[in-house]
Structure 1
């Protein structure tokens, strides 16, 4: 039985290829569409040059809408960055934070987005203050629940309480599946081995993560094993990642409208070895989620010192996995070379 959950892609997944000029915006949208991942999520700074400092030309917005229509896609989310702690050498005052969020609401509306993603660091009071404006624009502001935070973390509970007290339907959550890291990612371990972590220490950290050993004990033990530099850094990853419980999403499902399908690697058998997507999708179905799971590939940074990332193939594999878990019968395939436009331009 096919689920009502829909498949999408965060164009952040193609960051290597876009930065290197191998994929244009059209390549990114077309490739996603050919995979049946018709929901398109962006980070404004990546997709639109100059945002937010310099604004975006209407011609670029018109091109966006033309491509979305041409490939029969749906704008899903504009992920915005309000780094108010590092604003012009000072902390951004409350009113300026609210105004900044409203600016991103406007941009999301220009792009036809349903949602804008808020960083987890933003205080709930700022989002509550911006909510009435978002309602006017038909936009929902979703705070990203991202590891090491989770749905039982006091900061997230504070947001949930503020959202409910506000009574606004324009406030919600965007869970990042990286908080359900049930195993130490193999690509992480391989990278740490390449940069000098002794194998016995790498094996210990991997096993300690599997056994859910408290991170501070792991760091201390690695130090006592003679680990320095990269070995300590490997142990410290346990501070920022954990295997939280997917079922905790159920209590917040009425405010969950979009999902980041974080993944670090997809094997040839279409399995993400560190994140239990079968269990995650089961929980989302149980909760009646009918939004998009947007692929978010972040394994590139763990392999690019050793090989050229193939983000398109990685996204394709995850989309195959998601299609199967969602009960779809057709297997996602790519009909056009994702770098066709770039190569054609180079030849010209």
Structure 2
């Protein structure tokens, strides 16, 4: 069975180099296309300096740039700042209008997938469905750790989509929810900040055994009299869950795009933390046809001791994607859809 999964990148993966002026947006797109990752996820508030006032000429320039490298847009990352003023939150009507603004720009850019931040209420999104349907834009609520696919908050969004019988509201998984092993780069950073190796090992072992994080935090903070770095590492377990990869196929009808988060890739192009070895076969088995969009976030864990090379990290992830997709294709029965 030939998979229809596409490979792409989020411009967020190259935040280090772009912030330091070492890479331009076109440099990122050219590099990504060179490794076969031609689908580009954009963060307009970060990547378009005049946002939200984007002219038709600017949009044309973006498409000309993409065309030069055989690339295309895959997803629009929406942000909703609920604090319009220091003294109050946005009203419901103002939130709806803000999302409408993003839906319209998403449509003007020719993008059909919009990432919605997880804290946006399902009833607010329900009010946005008519415009999303009119513009043919899928609003995918980001399933970001510590939330997970079966979380009640996520289920509320799915319930709204089912009730409305709409194909324009669903979810958008962030692969951080599939953290099978604690990331070595995170452990190393906490140790550089003063965490004792025997304490970090205890935390890693607790994560490996999937012990409830609050028990580990209590052990480290109270019984082990952990220092600041040690307690911070223990508390990080709250945001590093391990969801069951075998459930992803059940949710596949509700998402078109995946933020393929990762913190590091080994030299042999494997992820030591996130369970892509289980997730990708499930996606292939489900016949999922969306985009795996690289989201490298390891820069913040190593930038104090070494230069960040987002290009090499992203390249390795796509080598892994190609390998795992090919293996999953070969494992499917003949004639499988």
Given the two structures, how large is their TM-score scaled by the length of structure 2?
Answer: 0.94
| Residue pairs, 1:171-320, within 5 angstroms | 171-223=169-221, 224-320=223-319
Give 3-state SS (helix, strand or coil) of 1:134's partner.
helix
Runs of 4+ in 1 over 4 A off after TM superposition: none
The residue aligned with 1:88 is 85
| Residue 7, structure 1, aligned to residue 3, structure 2 | no
Q: Distance in 2 between matches of 1:24 and 1:57?
A: 20
Distance 1:102 1:109 in 2: 11
Q: How many residues align?
A: 325
Which residue does 1:51 correspond to in 2? 51
Counting only pairs closer than 5 Å after superposition, residues 152-163 of structure 1 correspond to structure 2 as: 152-163=150-161
Pairwise CA distance, 1:261: 0.7
Secondary structure at 1:326 match in 2: helix
Contact between 2:7 and 2:318, CA under 8 Å: does it hold in 1? yes
Q: How many Å separate the matches in 1 of 2:200 and 2:51?
A: 41
Q: Which runs of 5+ in 1 are unaligned?
A: 329-348
Deviations 1:145-189 (A, max 9, x none): 111001111101111111111222111111011000000000000
What's 1:327 paired with? 326
The counterpart of 1:121, out of the listed 119, 132, 144, is 119
| TM-score, scaled relative to structure 1 | 0.91
Contact 2:281 2:325 in 1 (8 A): no
* Native 8 Å contact 1:258 1:293 kept in 2: yes
Structure 2 residues not aligned, in runs of 5+ = 328-337
Q: Give the conservation status (yes or no) of the 8 Å contact 2:3–2:287.
A: no
- Provide the aligned C-alpha RMSD in A: 1.2
